[in-house]
Amino acid sequence: MLDLCPGSLRDCERVTRRGLLKVGALSALGITLPMWRQALANSPAAAEGANCILIWTQGGTSHHDTFDPKPNAPVSVKGEFGTISTAVPGVQFAEIVPNMARELHRFGLLRSWNPENGSHGHADQWALSGRRFNPSVHYPTYGSVISWQKGFRSALPPYVQLGSSIDRRFGGGGAGILGLQHNSFEMLADPNAAQFAVRDITPPNGMKSERIDRRRKMLTAVDDLQRRAELQPEAFDALDEHYKAALNMITAPETKRAFQIDEEKAELRDRYGRTKFGQSALLARRLIESGVRFVTLTDGGWDTHGNNFNSLKNNRVPPVDQALPALLEDLEERGMLDSTLVVWLTDFGRTPAINSASGRDHWASAGFAIMAGAGVPGGSVIGATDEEGGKPVRDEYTTSAIAATIYHKLGLPLDLHAKAPDGRPIRLIEGEPIREWI
């Protein structure tokens, strides 16, 4: 179990009474909450911006076979899929994304993204922070910046990650120089499972709220006795606040309510799709409603070097094509779309040429990005690639522009600096927002 207060349980020779009780209280609840609770109390405040749901399809989603098809290219480039019309006259998508095509009026599409990178790991770090990998400076992901700048809006943590499909080798999806306390609260459970329960949130079977309350009261009583003999009561007060916050997260009504996805109407759950991705998208909306500021929804398996067309058509694309339009519609119906930025990012694009394994390889020069809500004009299709989808030929944007757009929509200053561990000021992003979406 993660130690929430290193060094606080022993006084050289023995474990303190206070420490033993706290270990019992927290381990009984199954808590492995990171230390962000203690540090976030001192986070700087920032002006309110939009909340965010970011979808990360790990591996590199093919732009040719989704949102930038090339029907007039040779078969070796255009692939197996036909094209369909969208809600925007003259714009066509691949036939395997019919729902996204129909709902294009709700989101904006960037067809001229230049990833400038074709390497896994580096992609997770670069695309999710806006800064190229630097081994001496670990740039933080967007959700961690929100955690650092804006802190808690409710008892729930400000930054939550659903699923584990992020490559961590180069710091992807992490807090970097901001410190571990600003990492995401990571939820690995499948919200589509019949017995959905969230580790660190759901008490063990048989643990009732009355028992939690008794432990809290016992802790308070021992605190009162031991604090009288302590020379540093202020240190105890600070530690108490840390534990109170952790316990409050578990016992707060909004925490329980956020994860009770089975309370949603069956019809709505069906609209999202009875898949892990679909129910995760629905859970992301519930988390934003309950006070989480930034949710990253991860989905793996998009590295289609082989069997690209069967994989996309039968496995990878259908859950997203069903859930993402449902999410946008649901947010709009609830009056939340104007205050919630929805983003779809991936590693990079894939090669124009189809390889001998009926797959597409990594491509560092072209790809797509999608944004919706928070003032992004629906139906806006930005840029174009050449006749083979190999490079942007109009309105090219790089990852720094995507990052600047996210910062702008979330109410973060574009010249935001943080301090490296050695005290140096580090600018977190460099770039200007996508003009058409501001």
Q: Which three-class secondary structure string do you get for the chain? A: CCCCCCCCCECCCCECHHHHHHHHHHHHHCCCCCCHHHHHCCCCCCCCCCEEEEEEECCCCCCCCCCCCCCCCCHHHHCCCCEEECCCCCCEEECCCHHHHHCHHHCEEEEEEECCCCCCCHHHHHHCCCCCCECCECCCCHHHHHHHHHCCCCCCCCEEEECCCCCCCCCCCCCHHHCHHHCCEEECCCCCCCCCCCCCCCCCCCCCHHHHHHHHHHHHHHHHHHHCCCCCHHHHHHHHHHHHHHHHHHHCHHHHHHHCHHHCCHHHHHHHCCCHHHHHHHHHHHHHHCCCCEEEEEECCCCCCCCHHHHHHHHHHHHHHHHHHHHHHHHHHCCCHHHEEEEEEECCEECCCCCCCCCCCEECCCEEEEEECCCCCCCCEECEECCCCCCEEECCEEHHHHHHHHHHHCCCCCCCEEECCCCCEEECCCCCCCHHHC
pLDDT the model gives residue 230: 52
pLDDT the model gives residue 121: 97
pLDDT the model gives residue 48: 67
* Residue ranges of the chain whose pLDDT lies below 50: 1-47, 236, 238-239
Q: What is the pLDDT of residues 355-398, one digit of tens each?
A: 999 999 999 999 999 999 999 999 999 999 999 999 999 999 99
- Does residue 25 sit within a domain? no
- Does residue 115 sit within a domain? yes
- Does residue 108 sit within a domain? yes
pLDDT the model gives residue 10: 35
- Does residue 409 sit within a domain? yes
pLDDT the model gives residue 132: 97
Q: What is the CATH number of the domain that holds 53?
A: 3.40.720
Q: What domain range is 316 assigned to?
A: 45-205+264-437
- Does residue 253 sit within a domain? no
Number of domains present in the structure of the chain: 1
- Does residue 319 sit within a domain? yes
Instruction: Supply the pTM of this predicted model.
Output: 0.83
- Does residue 56 sit within a domain? yes
- Does residue 250 sit within a domain? no
Q: What is the pLDDT of residues 412-434, one digit of tens each?
A: 999 999 999 889 999 999 999 99
